[in-house]
Amino acid sequence: MCGIVGYIGTEEAVPVLLNGLKKLEYRGYDSAGIAVLGKPGLVIRKSKGALKQLEEKVAAELKTGDGASLSGAMGIGHTRWATHGEPSDINSHPHTDVSGKIAVVHNGIIENHGKLKAWLEAHGVIFRSETDTEVIAHLIDFHYNGDLLLAVVEALKRLEGSYALGIICENNPDRIVAVRKESPLVVGSGRGENLIASDVPALLEYTREVYYLEDREIAVLYRDRVEFYNEEGQGCKKESSHVDWDVSAAEKGGYEHFMLKEIHEQPKALINTLRPRIKTYAVKSINLEEIGFDGSWVEANRVVITACGTAWHAGMIGKYAFEHFARIPVDVDIASEYRYRNPVFNPRDIFIIISQSGETADTLAAMRMARKSGARIIAITNVVGSTLAREADLVMYTWAGPEIAVASTKAFTTQLLCIYLIALQFGFLRGTIGGDVLADYIDALENLSAYAARILDGKENIQRFASRQFNKSKVFFLGRLFDYAVSLESALKLKEVSYTHSEAFAAGELKHGPIALVDESTLVVALCTQSSLFDKMDSNIKEVKARGAATAAITYEDVDYFDKTVDEVFRIPHTLDSFTPILSVIPCQLYAYYCAVQRGLDPDKPRNLAKSVTVE
Ligand code: M6R
């Protein structure tokens, strides 16, 4: 989704803005632009395509000496992910009012922009772009009477939808006004300089003191201070937060791509997620006191899990885990479906909402529905201070570190670890798991990090396999129980980054339709880690083989059951069948990554996708 940066200080703004936008590239975009306010007034440069094109445009201008107009110590910048109007220079942000004195960058969707546009046109405004954003610039101008904050407060009253906004005005050259509703925006407070950004990595070179804006909260940034206001324009106080992770955590660190780096970070991320939650006194136990999880939570009659994409797949594994360990009914739902259904709530339901970013629009909407019903909410998220984290009753952070690649990898495996911990503690507190058994389960969880590292050590096997198979036009992943959910995640990874047509099937469903698709052009990857179902999986593999498919299996390193059936076996260390998803997904993540690279694609920036889907 779109990325926003803003700077006010003593440095030249252009390099700061371009640098910040670079840090937000992972969010996905199709054009970029900046507005700088200096001696010559408000100057705007935009470019369709990669940020590099904007950089080249600006560099060429600076080289020829025409760059003086780009000199100024304040400005705003934007990477646009098109929603209203095609990617083009004219539709790129910043957008201005008719006179060109007010510039606006926006992330989100203004739902009533059609109505507002008609109203503004009736007042003589001539629109230049097809965007919903342009109405904001004109509205602010409509209400502008010398005070930018007041004009923004008035304009906001008319806006419906979601927005994070950075606004500057030629007549108020000492301030940036920023506000958000349902789209992320962070304020960074430095020495003699202040910044805004859609995400923390864009701020870290300048400051670690940040303010996470609440919905409808307004920040006014001056060089030497930041003031906060509510939506009525009344001043309010706000506490800053200190970011303690390093800027290098958000950089590639020698890997060719973020996706590969993040796949390799999983052993460490699993330790970071697990360690603070384990007590190792006499008998090992789970410590969820830090998040306020006590006995009252396990009185629930039902657990409802909602999420999108990869996080939804984590939720499916959560269903199996809760049923298995805690013997409690679980519903798991795609957030974008859930929010438009008419679900039956029960006051004794608890909700688990999973989101790497904590900003996914559909997921937040589902959470708010649950909240309205009176249900209690546990959030599992990776982003400290995200909207989800702030609105839930309990937050369990995944502590995976920043995930930059669009394709989620380490967020998924750490989400799974969080879910296992909650499900096990649920079972323990409900009496379905005894203390000694729990300690054994914890031992098994503690082994997973080293096991993940072992799988990564053998990555060349997957790379070789991908170099032979990357051109397959159809790849199907098959599995049963926990393996079925991993199949869904594996198919998503492969389609996201390599654009291969890949699907996942519950292996038992094969004969009910999907087998009609299988022919010589198909690769079938069978996930085979559910020991009681090995014979069933073996039959399924033989069925697809008989129809000409190439086959591979992922199974335990001490199991030779499938050696004679499939063309290729990938092995993972032996753990509990119910914990295998954390391991078995890793070969599939690697396979997706290597297929993308073989196809000459950039796995970090898949076409049409954005890291954080903050609009519907
Ligand atoms: O930030 P979230 O976990 O809420 O994001 C949900 C999905 O958009 C996300 O998992 C998406 O499917 C990823 N691209 C998967 O790799």
Q: Where are the domains of the chain?
A: 3-244, 252-456, 458-616
Query: What's the CA gap between 574 and 565, in Å, rounded?
Result: 20
Q: What is the mean pLDDT of residues 29-51?
A: 92
Q: Ligand 1 — pocket residues by CB below 6 A?
A: 308-311, 355-357, 360, 363, 406-408, 496, 609, 612-613
Query: How many Cα neighbours within 13 Å face the side chain of 401?
Result: 24
Q: What is the mean pLDDT of residues 31-47?
A: 94
Residue 391 has pLDDT above 70, yes or no: yes
Residue 130 C-alpha from the chain's centroid: 27
Residue 575 has pLDDT above 90, yes or no: yes
Pocket-testing residue among 356, 383, 398, ligand 1, by greatest number of atoms within 8 A of Cβ? 356
Give the CATH architecture of domain 252-456: 3-Layer(aba) Sandwich (3.40)
Note if the bond before 94 is cis, omega within 30 degrees. yes
User: Which of the 8 DSSP states describes residue 100?
Assistant: S
Ligand 1 center from residue 43 Cα (angstroms): 36
Q: What is the mean pLDDT of residues 301-320?
A: 97
pLDDT of residue 401: 87
Residue 344 C-alpha from the chain's centroid: 28
| Of 52-66, 316-330, 340-354, the least confident | 52-66
Looking at the CA of residue 409, tell me the nearest atom of ligand 1.
16
- Residue 402 neighbours by CB distance under 10 Å: 22
Ligand 1 center from residue 464 Cα (angstroms): 28
Measured CA to CA in angstroms, residue 443 lies from 62, 191, 446, 448 at distances of 60, 47, 5, 9
pLDDT over 90, % of the chain: 84
Residue 299 has pLDDT above 70, yes or no: yes
Looking at the CA of residue 613, tell me the nearest atom of ligand 1.
8
pLDDT of residue 87: 84
Residues 6+ apart with CB under 8 A from 573: 447, 451, 454, 455, 556, 557, 583
Tokens of 409: 């990898």
Ligand 1 center from residue 593 Cα (angstroms): 17
What rounded mean pLDDT belongs to the chain?
94
Residue 28 has pLDDT above 80, yes or no: no
User: Which of the 8 DSSP states describes residue 141?
Assistant: H
Q: Which band of pLDDT confidence, cut at 50, 70 and 90, is reported for residue 553?
A: very high
From 3.40.50.880, 3.40.630.10, 3.90.25.10, 3.40.50.10490, which CATH number describes the 458-616 domain? 3.40.50.10490
pLDDT of residue 248: 65
User: Which of the 8 DSSP states describes residue 543?
Assistant: H
| Of 255-259, 423-427, 478-482, the least confident | 255-259
Q: Which band of pLDDT confidence, cut at 50, 70 and 90, is reported for residue 329?
A: very high
Q: Which band of pLDDT confidence, cut at 50, 70 and 90, is reported for residue 397?
A: very high
Residue 52 has pLDDT above 70, yes or no: yes
Looking at the CA of residue 612, tell me the nearest atom of ligand 1.
1
Q: What is the mean pLDDT of residues 210-232?
A: 96
Residue 362 has pLDDT above 70, yes or no: yes
Residue 253 has pLDDT above 80, yes or no: no
Residues 6+ apart with CB under 8 A from 64: none
Q: Which band of pLDDT confidence, cut at 50, 70 and 90, is reported for residue 66?
A: low
The reply to whether domains 3-244 and 458-616 share a CATH topology is: no
pTM, whole model, 2 decimals? 0.77
pLDDT of residue 456: 97
In 458-526, alpha helices (H): 459-469, 482-498
Nearest CA to ligand 1 atom 9: 309
Looking at the CA of residue 611, tell me the nearest atom of ligand 1.
14
Q: What is the mean pLDDT of residues 145-152?
A: 96
CATH number belonging to domain 3-244: 3.60.20.10
pLDDT of residue 30: 85
Give tens-digit pLDDT for 82-123.
888 888 889 999 999 999 999 999 998 898 999 999 999 999
Residues 6+ apart with CB under 8 A from 272: 399, 400, 401, 414
Ligand 1 center from residue 467 Cα (angstroms): 27
pLDDT of residue 167: 98
